[in-house]
């Protein structure tokens, strides 16, 4: 089993059958973060290129764990318009993130349960678009 959730680090800390991978803004809430199995803390203003490079560098560790299931917290707070996320991704960058994660899981035959998070963009429509794009990636991948 694998949890792909930041807040789950504390819940699963003593459970060796769960691997928690978190990519997040290093100065983002919560300010005191419970350590995950793999934390990638990104500096304020990180954009698409650096974010996607960090994901490509660290995502293989998830699959080295040999998970039976991925719980994917597809947060949209890395979006540049998000008031709390402190990162600077574009919609295209978030789409590429979702493609990287979901296609890698599908290619390995690992089922994914997906949840959304974040969503404090100004204007809020930017968050709604980002949520919709995540599900568009999943739909295209699975051809519903």
User: What is the pLDDT, as a whole number, of residue 5?
Assistant: 46
Cα(81)–Cα(100) distance, rounded to whole angstroms?
22
CB of 26 within 8 A of CB of 50? no
pLDDT at 106 over 80: yes
pLDDT at position 62 is: 97
Q: What is the pLDDT of residues 14-60, one digit of tens each?
A: 788 999 998 989 887 655 667 788 999 999 999 999 999 999 999 99
pLDDT, residue 30, reads 56
Question: For the whole model, what pTM was predicted?
Answer: 0.90
How far apart are alpha carbons 119 and 76 in whole angstroms? 6
């Amino acid at each position: 089993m694998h949890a792909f959730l930041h807040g789950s680090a504390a819940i699963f800390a003593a459970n060796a059958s769960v691997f928690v991978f978190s990519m997040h803004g290093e100065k983002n809430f919560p300010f005191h973060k419970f350590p995950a199995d793999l934390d990638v803390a990104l500096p304020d203003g990180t954009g698409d290129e650096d974010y996607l490079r960090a994901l490509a560098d660290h995502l293989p560790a998830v699959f080295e764990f040999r998970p039976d299931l991925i719980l994917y917290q597809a947060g949209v707070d890395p979006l540049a318009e998000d008031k709390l996320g402190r990162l600077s991704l574009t919609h295209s960058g978030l789409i590429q993130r979702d493609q990287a994660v979901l296609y890698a899981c599908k290619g390995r035959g690992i089922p994914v349960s997906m949840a959304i998070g974040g969503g404090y963009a100004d204007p809020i429509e930017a968050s709604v678009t980002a949520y919709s794009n995540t599900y568009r990636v999943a739909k295209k991948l699975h051809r519903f």
